[in-house]
């Protein structure tokens, strides 16, 4: 029977560390600006949760609501304004954006030192080169879960299912930099069950409910389920949890696994961005 990760608890533990670090700043409050375009209810909930998490850890947050008809040029102007605002340390543009706006264009307009989602090409390049930078939150959360539970990554065989820019690819790079042997799988991968059966670490970032079957899991493996899928108003992950939990050594549930940690990594990135900006302003 696997150790089931309590993402909320772990998240609280890390948030307490962040809160303490903020208190040590002597009255300064790192500030996250969240931009919400349109009226997608799920996005509004995500932004609200992120702002609440900021408040709870002593970070400041501001929210900019723009109408669904906002053009790419208008959004770029808003980003430029936040880039110039010395009070704002981190900028987050909530995805998805309306179809007429190219998310990659917006990500590259955010100053790399304020890019707390880690989506700017410069930060992506830093991650590729294993140099310090702001890295995407969900991938960092996956590594944090294994580290905080003493699961050794080095030398292990890791299988990442999913190759998106936001989740799959950055997780694969982080695992590689930690000396895992990494296989990246996707929708054209053949014999996926056989590949997963060899994995000591399975990261599922697909977006298909219970796609990874329990009997694919190697006994003792770490199973990190990034997927969030809605079935009959219930949230389920990409892994068939009920069977996988019997075989894995460590497993994250959905909800309550990676999700809460992702927001916490955003807070940590905002704090880091603040510290780096303060450092670079010193004469
Ligand atoms: P994308 O849709 O961008 O990517 C999905 C990936 O899964 C693609 O690379 C795709 O392959 C692959 N895939 C799809 N079907 C299959 C299949 N049948 N077999 C193997 N691979 C397949 O999703 P994201 O990466 O943005 O997100 C993945 C999941 O994680 C979603 O459920 C999302 O909601 C969740 N998520 C959770 C977060 C959290 O905080 N917990 C944060 C971000 C995302 P191909 O490239 O070939 O199309």
pLDDT in tens, 249-269: 999 999 999 999 999 999 999
Asked if residues 93 and 65 have their Cβ atoms less than 8 Å apart, the reply is no
Q: Give the burial class of 207: count Cβ atoms within 10 A of its Cβ; 0-12 exposed, 13-18 middle, 19 or more buried.
A: middle
* Residues 90 and 179 placed together within one structural domain of the fold: no
CB-based contacts of 41, cutoff 8 Å, min separation 6: none
Domain that holds residue 31: 27-110
138 lines ligand 1 (CB under 6 A): yes
Q: CATH number of the domain at 73, please.
A: 3.40.50.10860
Residue 184 — pLDDT band, cuts 50, 70, 90? very high
What was the pLDDT predicted at 248? 98
Is 5 within a domain? no
Is 35 within a domain? yes
Is 94 within a domain? yes
Tens digit of pLDDT for each residue in 152-162? 999 999 999 99
What was the pLDDT predicted at 281? 84
What is the mean pLDDT of the segment spanning 109-121?
Answer: 98
Cα–Cα distance, 128 to 226 (Å, whole number): 21
What was the pLDDT predicted at 239? 98
- For a ligand 1 pocket test, name from 95, 140, 159, 206 the mutation site with the most ligand atoms within 8 angstroms of its C-beta: 206
CB-based contacts of 243, cutoff 8 Å, min separation 6: 213, 214, 215
Q: CATH number of the domain at 152, please.
A: 3.40.50.720
What was the pLDDT predicted at 282? 84
Is 61 within a domain? yes
* Residues 89 and 179 placed together within one structural domain of the fold: no
- For residue 29, the tally of other CB atoms under 10 A from its CB is 15
Look at the alpha carbons of 231, 235, 258, 265 in this order and tell me if their dihedral is positive or negative: positive
259 lines ligand 1 (CB under 6 A): yes
By percentage, how much of the chain surpasses pLDDT 90? 97
Q: For ligand 1, atom 22, which residue shows the shortest CA distance?
A: 187
Q: For ligand 1, atom 48, which residue shows the shortest CA distance?
A: 187
Counted domains in the chain:
2
Is 13 within a domain? no
Say whether pLDDT at 8 is over 90: yes
205 lines ligand 1 (CB under 6 A): yes
What was the pLDDT predicted at 67? 97
Ligand 1 centroid–CA 187 distance in Å is 10
* Residues 235 and 160 placed together within one structural domain of the fold: yes
The average confidence (pLDDT) of the chain is 97
Residue 283 — pLDDT band, cuts 50, 70, 90? confident
| pTM, two decimal places | 0.97
């Amino acid at each position: 029977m696997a150790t089931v990760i309590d993402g909320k608890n772990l998240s609280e533990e890390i948030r307490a560390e962040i809160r303490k670090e903020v208190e040590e700043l002597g009255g300064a409050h790192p500030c996250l600006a969240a931009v919400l375009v349109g009226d997608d209810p799920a996005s509004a909930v995500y932004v609200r949760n992120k702002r609440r998490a900021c408040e709870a850890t002593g970070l400041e947050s501001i929210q900019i609501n723009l109408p669904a008809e906002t053009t790419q040029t208008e959004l770029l102007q808003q980003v430029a304004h936040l880039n110039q605002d010395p009070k704002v340390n981190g900028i987050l543009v909530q995805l998805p954006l309306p179809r007429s706006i190219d998310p990659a264009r917006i990500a590259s307009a955010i100053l790399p030192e304020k890019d707390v989602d880690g989506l700017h090409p410069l930060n992506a390049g830093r991650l590729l080169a294993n140099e310090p930078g702001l890295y995407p939150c969900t991938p960092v959360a996956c590594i944090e879960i294994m580290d905080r539970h003493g699961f050794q990554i080095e030398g292990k065989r890791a299988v990442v299912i999913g190759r998106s820019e936001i989740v799959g690819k950055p997780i694969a790079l982080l695992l590689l930099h930690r000396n895992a042997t990494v296989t990246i799988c996707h929708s054209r991968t053949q014999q996926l069950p056989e590949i997963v059966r060899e994995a000591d670490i399975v990261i599922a970032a697909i977006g298909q409910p219970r796609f990874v079957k329990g009997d694919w899991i190697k006994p003792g493996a770490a199973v990190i389920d990034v997927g969030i899928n809605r079935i009959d108003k219930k949230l389920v992950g990409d892994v068939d949890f009920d069977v996988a939990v019997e075989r894995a050594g460590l497993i994250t549930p959905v909800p309550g696994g990676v999700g809460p940690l992702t927001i916490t990594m955003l807070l940590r990135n905002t704090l880091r961005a603040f510290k780096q900006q303060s450092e670079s302003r010193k004469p």
